[in-house]
Amino acid sequence: MAPRSKKPSVKYEEFLFWVSRPSTYYNFGLQHDRRADDPYYESHTLQFDVDCIHPDRCKGRKTEASFHPDPKMAAGSEFRRAPKDKPLAVGSIIVGKNRFEVSGFLPPDACWNIGAAIAAGTIISMSANGRWPTRGHGYLNSISFHGPEFDPIDYIG
């Protein structure tokens, strides 16, 4: 019997960023999607600049991170997923020669509080852990925002 081919191993990696210049976007209007039950359409986005400081292959790369509030993620939400519907990720990172993107989803209250804290200077860095099933695209398992007491340079070692 021929040996089974090995399943490609999934790589896990941590990213650290300096964060700055938050901006918000909000849109409210009538729903035009016939499949949606809600007569209104609402869209929010929190964007801020990120400067990658780790890993070395991305060090110095800058981009604008986009995070979208998702009501399904709010604690106590009636829309919260059942345990059988395990989510794939809370965000993603795309790293390519000419492309570097960071995006994700947060509970609504956290999203707006994080934007205000970045603007006030009480959040200055972000860390993100993810798994890399393919070379250029990672799925984020966790996202953390840190104040001035956290030194990402010291954390890296």
Q: 34 in a domain, yes or no?
A: no
Residue 48's contacts (CB-CB under 8 Å, 6 or more residues apart) are 19, 20, 21, 22, 23, 64, 65, 115, 118
Task: Give the domain range for residue 21.
Answer: 14-26+42-76+87-149
Q: 121 in a domain, yes or no?
A: yes
Task: Look at the chain and report how many structural domains it folds into.
Answer: 1
Q: For 6-17, how does the pLDDT look when each residue is reduced to its tens digit (9 = 90+)?
A: 666 778 899 999
CA 42, CA 48: separation in Å to the nearest integer?
A: 20
Alpha helices in the chain (DSSP H): 108-120, 152-156
Minimum mean pLDDT range among 8-12, 59-63, 141-145: 8-12
- Confidence (pTM): 0.81
Q: For 70-121, how does the pLDDT look when each residue is reduced to its tens digit (9 = 90+)?
A: 887 777 665 555 666 777 899 999 999 999 999 999 998 999 999 999 999 9
For the ranges 27-41, 62-76, 102-116, the one whose mean pLDDT is highest: 102-116
CA 157, CA 149: separation in Å to the nearest integer?
A: 16
CA 117, CA 146: separation in Å to the nearest integer?
A: 10
> With contact defined as beta carbons under 8 Å apart, do 130 and 139 qualify?
yes
Q: By three-state DSSP, how is residue 53 classified?
A: strand
Q: 82 in a domain, yes or no?
A: no
CA 20, CA 13: separation in Å to the nearest integer?
A: 23
Q: 37 in a domain, yes or no?
A: no
Q: 157 in a domain, yes or no?
A: no
Q: 101 in a domain, yes or no?
A: yes
